[in-house]
A = this chain, B = another copy of it.
Amino acid sequence: MTIGFIGLGIMGKPMAANLMKAGYRLVVHDVARDRLREALANGAELGTSPADVAARSELMITMLPNSPHVREVALGAHGIVEGARRGAILIDMSSIAPATSREVAAVLAAKGVEMLDAPVSGGEPKAVDGTLAIMVGGKPEVFDQVKDLLLKMGSSAVLCGGIGSGNVTKLANQIIVALNIAAMSEALVLATKVGVKPETVFNAIKGGLAGSTVLNAKAPMVLDGNFRPGFRIELHIKDLQNAIDTAREAGVPIPLTSQVMEMMQALKQDGKAGQDHSGLVQFYEKLAGVQARR
C-alpha cells in the first residue's frame, strides 16, 4: 500500500520514518522542501502538492500545525480533495478543532473519501520511538482498517467516537494537563512564599490524593528552574484556544481553562512562549515575588 504523508515537521518526520521502517511506500509533501530531505533520501517519493499526493495514494496522513492548515491542505487549491480517489482514507493526526475535523470530513465524504481524526499525545520522543498515544474519531469500520498501521506510530490507538472525537479527547487531555500544572504552581508558590520549601511539599504530598503525572514530571522542572521543552507554551495556547472555541460553540463554560489561557498569554508577552508549559509557574512567581526553587 502507498501512503501519502503531508507535514514532515518535528512530529511528522519521525512518524513517517517509522512507517517506512515498517515497509510502507510513502509519497511525501511539505510546504518546506528541506523537511523532506531525509524521507526522500530514504526512498520516499515526492508529491508536488496535496492533490498529487492524494492521486498517488490509497491512504493519506496529515500532521499539520492547526485547523486552518488542515482545511487548506484538504480542501484548498491543489488540496487532497482534488486528487483523492473514491474509497481512499484520510487520517488527520494533527491536533485541531473538532469542528474542523467534522467540516473537512463532510466535504471529503461527498467525494467518497473516508476520514479519521487521530491526534496524538506523547511529543517528539514518543514519535521517534513509535509509542505515541493515538486518540481516534470516525467510523469503527474505517478505524479497524487502519488500526495496525496506526500502531506502527503509536503504542495505543483508541477509537473515542465519531469524527472529531479524537480531537475532543485530546482537548480534554490538554485542559487537564494545563490546569494540573496551574494547580501545582499555585500550591508550590504559596508554600514557598510562606516559608516552606517547595521540594519538601512535593515530597510530602506526591504519594497522596494530590499526586499526578504532571506533579511527578513537572515539579522537578520547576524546582530546577529548567523550562526547556518538552511541550511549548505556544502549543498549549493553540490547544486551549481550540478548547475555548469548542466550549463556546457547545455552550459549556470552562472558566478555569480560560484563566490559564490568560496566564499563558501573559507569559507569551514576557517572551516565554517557547518554554515548556511547566514555565507557567513563573506567572505566579512574578506576582508573588518568590521562586519555587530547590
Could you tell me which A residues sit within 8 Å of B by CB distance? 98, 121-122, 133, 135, 137, 156, 158, 160-162, 164-165, 168-169, 171-180, 182-184, 186-191, 193-197, 200-201, 203-205, 207-215, 217, 243, 246-247, 250-257, 259-260, 284, 287-289
Contacts and interface: CB of A to CB of B under 8 A. Distances in A.
Contacts of A214: 209-210, 212
Given A186-B179, A211-B213, A256 B256 contact: yes
Given A169-B205, A201-B160, A252 B284 contact: yes
16 contacts: A137-B196, A158-B203, A161-B195, A161-B196, A161-B197, A168-B190, A177-B210, A178-B183, A179-B180, A179-B183, A180-B210, A186-B257, A190-B250, A194-B246, A209-B214, A252-B284
A43 to B, nearest CB: 33
B190 A246 contact: yes
Contacts of A156: 207
Contacts of A196: 137, 160-161, 165, 168-169, 172
Given A200-B160, A208-B122, A183 B183 contact: yes
A276 to B, nearest CB: 12
A209 B121 contact: yes
A223 to B, nearest CB: 14
Given A204-B158, A210-B180, A212-B214, A189 B121 contact: no
Contact of A259 (B176, B207, B255): B255
Contacts of A205: 121, 135, 169, 172-173, 176
B252 A287 contact: yes
B135 A98 contact: no
Residue among A133, A201, A217 having the largest count of chain B Cβ atoms under 10 Å: A201
Contacts of A215: 176, 212
A168 B287 CA distance: 19
Nearest to A161: B196
A164 B196 CA distance: 9
Contact of A208 (B121, B191, B288): B121
A259 to B, nearest CB: 6
A247 B288 CA distance: 10
Contacts of A203: 158
A146 to B, nearest CB: 17
Nearest to A195: B161
